[in-house]
Amino acid sequence: MITVETLTKSYGGFVAVDDITFTARPGRVTGFLGPNGAGKSTTLRILVGLTPATSGSATISGRDFVTIPNPGRQVGVLLDASAQHAGRTGREILTIAQRFMGLPKGRVEEMLDLVSLTPEEAGRRVRNYSLGMRQRLGIATALIGEPEVLVLDEPANGLDPAGIRWMRGLLRDYADQGGTVLLSSHLLHEIEVIADDLVVIGNGRIVAQGSKRELLQTAGSLVRTGDQATLTRALTESGVTSAPAGTGALLAQAEAEHVGKIAFAAGVPVIELRPADGAGLEEIFLHLTSDTQRDSSTTPEGAAA
């Protein structure tokens, strides 16, 4: 289990992580989401001992990462697939991990087979790897010690669609066998498919957390119109909170019938209006983090990054 309690990290006068608390439980995949600069990477770096916390704690099975003996046997970590020795081969990198952790020699070939790196690819220097191949090698390195916990930051980055599906199945099987997975990703659809629980962070603070089902069921209504500004103003004047959820769309915290009446009274033509419990994670994410998005609602793909 991963436990984060009242965790804070400050750099001078800037608070990168602001008093956050959450858990990632065994047997479940926990999706850790937030816009760029929200504090995700800082939190993960504190968790695995790369950055000291200002206050609070982030522990794995009740221990700080730096106090765990032979940590690779307890925690598999992939934070940056490019942070691998470019002059070594993939097999050499796995062999070093195998020897350092005191694992059987056969574990290297098991991992190469698991992540579908061929003998030719395993003998190639990492500087000549594609990003997708580096991701596969990084996942192999994280899993080689048969850890109970996985901490992954953007593990699908650089993978093709078949690779993403493979990774999804790999992580699902890992969690189903009792492992704990904390997964940060910009690929919201992949998180929606695989995650059991969600933690959403914005401006260093948690803005929502809970099971995926709980969060998607409390979404309000999705309304799409050609006159978003007028509808936003009308909703606000009626006491209904709303936020951009893609081009021409709003996520309104009210039942669809009430939103429709407000739009009608304001003379705003509605193109689409429905309960948002089926709207999908992207729209919920944009709503929850609307105050922290770098880009405007006219560029939703940037806002979801």
Q: pLDDT tier at 288 (50, 70, 90 boundaries)?
A: low
Query: For residues 255 and 264, what is the distance between their CA atoms, to the nearest angstrom?
Result: 15
Which run of H or of E encompasses 29?
strand 29-33
The whole-number pLDDT of residue 24 equals: 97
Q: Where along the chain do the CATH 3.30.70 domains lie? A: 218-303
Is the pLDDT assigned to residue 95 strictly greater than 90?
yes
For residues 20-37, give the mean pLDDT. Answer: 93
Measured from the Cβ of residue 132, the count of other Cβ atoms closer than 10 Å reads 16
Class of domain 2-211: alpha beta
The whole-number pLDDT of residue 213 equals: 76
Give residue-wise pLDDT tens across range 165-218.
Answer: 999 999 999 999 999 999 998 777 778 788 999 998 988 999 888 888 777 666
Query: For residues 144 and 138, what is the distance between their CA atoms, to the nearest angstrom?
Result: 10
Taking Cα atoms as reference points, which of 90, 135, 137, 140 lies closest to residue 111? 140
The whole-number pLDDT of residue 291 equals: 62
- Quick check: 184 and 172 in contact, CB under 8 A? no
- Specify the higher pLDDT residue, 290 or 26: 26
DSSP-derived letter for residue 61 is T
Residues ≥6 apart with Cβ < 8 Å to 67 = none
Measured from the Cβ of residue 100, the count of other Cβ atoms closer than 10 Å reads 12
Q: pLDDT tier at 38 (50, 70, 90 boundaries)?
A: confident
HEC assignment per residue over 221-290: EEEEECCHHHHHHHHHHCCCCEEECCCCEEEECCCHHHHHHHHHHCCCCEEEEEEHHHCCHHHHHHHHCH
- Specify the higher pLDDT residue, 157 or 246: 157
Is the pLDDT assigned to residue 242 strictly greater than 90?
no
Query: For residues 264 and 266, what is the distance between their CA atoms, to the nearest angstrom?
Result: 5
- Entry pTM: 0.76
The whole-number pLDDT of residue 212 equals: 83
The CATH number assigned to the domain with range 218-303 reads 3.30.70
Q: Where along the chain do the CATH 3.40.50.300 domains lie? A: 2-211
Assigned token pair, 119: 């003998």
The whole-number pLDDT of residue 159 equals: 87
Instruction: Say what percent of the chain tops pLDDT 70.
Output: 89
Angle at 71 between CA 73 and CA 82, to 5 degrees: 95
CA distance from start to end of the chain: 28
Give residue-wise pLDDT tens across range 109-134.
Answer: 999 999 999 999 999 999 999 999 99
Q: pLDDT tier at 267 (50, 70, 90 boundaries)?
A: very high
Q: pLDDT tier at 302 (50, 70, 90 boundaries)?
A: very low
Among 33-37, 67-71, 90-94, the minimum mean pLDDT is found in 33-37
- Specify the higher pLDDT residue, 9 or 278: 9
- Quick check: 58 and 43 in contact, CB under 8 A? yes
